[in-house]
Amino acid sequence: MNCGLDLVGEVLYGKWKIRIMWFIHEGNLRPSELQRKIPDVTRRVLNVQLKELEDHELVTKKIFPVMPPKVEYNLTEFGKTLIPLINSIGLWGEEHKERLRRVILKHIVPSSGELEDSYAEGAPVRAALPR
C-alpha cells in the first residue's frame, strides 16, 4: 500500500461511507438520522461502516450518559479534509447524471429480447435506478 489511491480506497471502501460522511457534514449526527437519509442501508452495515470511519480517524463517536443511550458522530478535522473531494465527486455525478443513469440501467435492465422473455416467464424485472 504505497500508492495514495490504495490508501484512500482502504479507508473509503464501503458502499455507504462517502454518503455517511456527507450527511454527517450536513448535520445528521445520530445513527437514526443517517438511516433515514440512506434508507437502503441496514442498521448493522451502518454501524460497521461508522466504526470503520471511526477507526480510520475520519469521524468521532460521542456517547451521552443518558437513558436511553444517545450517540452522535462528528467529522474529525482529518475527515473534514475529504468534504471538498466528496463535493467534487457529487458535482461530477450531477454533470454526468444522464449518462451515468444510462450505463447503470444497461447493466440492471435486460435487453428488450430478454425483457420479453422475463415477462413471458413471469419473472420480476427491476427497472428503477437506485437512489
Q: Where are the domains of the chain?
A: 4-76
Q: State whether the Cα torsion 27-51-36-105 is positive or negative.
A: positive
pLDDT tens digits, one per residue of 34-66: 999 999 999 999 999 999 999 999 999 999 999
The pTM of this model reads: 0.77
Q: What is the CATH number of domain 4-76?
A: 1.10.10.10
Supply the pLDDT for residue 95: 97
Closest C-alpha to 78, from 3, 7, 16: 7
